[in-house]
Structure 1
Amino acid sequence: MTQKVAIIGGGRMGQAMIYGWIKAGLDFEFSLFDPVVNEEFQKFLSTNNWKINPTEGFFDIVICAVKPQIFPTIGENLKKLCGEETLVVSIMAGINLATLQSASGCGRVVRAMPNTPGQIGSGITAYIGNNSCVSQDFECVEKLLSPLGEVVKVSAEHDIDAVTAVSGSGPAYIFLMAEAMIAASQNEGLDRETSEKLVIETILGSAKLLKESGQSAQELRKAVTSPNGTTAAALDVLTNNAALFELMRNAIRAAAHRSKELGKN
Structure 2
Amino acid sequence: MNDIRITFIGAGNMAASLIGGLCAQGVDKSVLRASDPNEQQRQRITRELGIATFEDNAAAVEGADVVVLAVKPQSMKAVCQALAPHLAASQLVVSIAAGISCASLEQWLGPRALVRCMPNTPSLLRQGVSGLYANGGVSNEQRSQAEQLLSAVGLALWLDEEAQIDAVTAVSGSGPAYFFLLIEAMTRAGEKLGLPREVAERLTQQTALGAARMAIESDVDAAELRRRVTSPAGTTEAAIKTFQAGGFEALVDQALAAAAHRSAELADQLGR
TM-score by length of 1: 0.92
Distance of 1:248 and 1:67 partners within structure 2: 28
Distance of 1:26 and 1:185 partners within structure 2: 45
Distance of 2:64 and 2:4 partners within structure 1: 8
Aligned: 1:14 with 2:15: yes
- Conserved 8 A contact 2:10-2:70: yes
- Conserved 8 A contact 1:87-1:108: yes
One-letter amino acid of the structure 2 residue matched with residue 70 of structure 1 = S
SS at the partner of 1:66? coil
- Conserved 8 A contact 1:82-1:106: no
Distance of 2:222 and 2:3 partners within structure 1: 44
Instruction: Identify the residue that residue 266 of structure 2 maps to in structure 1.
Output: 262
Distance of 1:144 and 1:193 partners within structure 2: 38
Deviations 1:52-99 (A, max 9, x none): 325533532111112223322323333254222121111122211111
Aligned: 1:159 with 2:164: yes
Instruction: Identify the residue that residue 246 of structure 1 maps to in structure 2.
Output: 250
- Conserved 8 A contact 1:6-1:62: yes
Distance of 1:217 and 1:148 partners within structure 2: 24
- Conserved 8 A contact 2:46-2:52: no
Instruction: Identify the residue that residue 41 of structure 1 maps to in structure 2.
Output: 44
One-letter amino acid of the structure 2 residue matched with residue 44 of structure 1 = R
Distance of 1:216 and 1:165 partners within structure 2: 21
Distance of 2:266 and 2:65 partners within structure 1: 27
One-letter amino acid of the structure 1 residue matched with residue 6 of structure 2 = V
Deviations 1:18-38 (A, max 9, x none): 221222232462221221242
How much is the aligned-residue C-alpha RMSD, in angstroms? 2.0
Distance of 1:146 and 1:224 partners within structure 2: 33
Matches for 1:203-214 after TM superposition, within 5 Å? 203-214=208-219
Matches for 1:105-254 after TM superposition, within 5 Å? 105-240=110-245, 243-254=247-258
Q: Which runs of 5+ in 2 are unaligned?
A: none
Instruction: Identify the residue that residue 51 of structure 1 maps to in structure 2.
Output: 53
The count of residues paired between Structure 1 and Structure 2 equals 263
SS at the partner of 1:228? coil
Instruction: Identify the residue that residue 98 of structure 1 maps to in structure 2.
Output: 103
Equivalent in 9, 28, 31 of residue 29 of structure 1 = 31
Distance of 2:26 and 2:54 partners within structure 1: 18
One-letter amino acid of the structure 2 residue matched with residue 52 of structure 1 = F
User: For structure 1, which segment, 59-68 or 243-252, has the greater mean C-alpha deviation from structure 2 after superposition?
Assistant: 59-68
Q: Among the aligned pairs, what percent are the same residue?
A: 38
- Conserved 8 A contact 2:84-2:108: yes
Instruction: Identify the residue that residue 65 of structure 1 maps to in structure 2.
Output: 70
SS at the partner of 2:266? helix
One-letter amino acid of the structure 2 residue matched with residue 224 of structure 1 = V
- Conserved 8 A contact 2:183-2:204: yes
Cα shift at 1:191: 0.9
Q: Which runs of 5+ in 1 are unaligned?
A: none
Change (3 A) 1:58 1:101: farther
SS at the partner of 2:93? strand
Change (3 A) 1:229 1:71: same
One-letter amino acid of the structure 1 residue matched with residue 255 of structure 2 = A
- Conserved 8 A contact 1:4-1:30: yes
TM-score by length of 2: 0.89
Cα shift at 1:105: 2.1
- Conserved 8 A contact 2:68-2:96: yes
Change (3 A) 1:225 1:3: closer
- Conserved 8 A contact 1:10-1:37: no
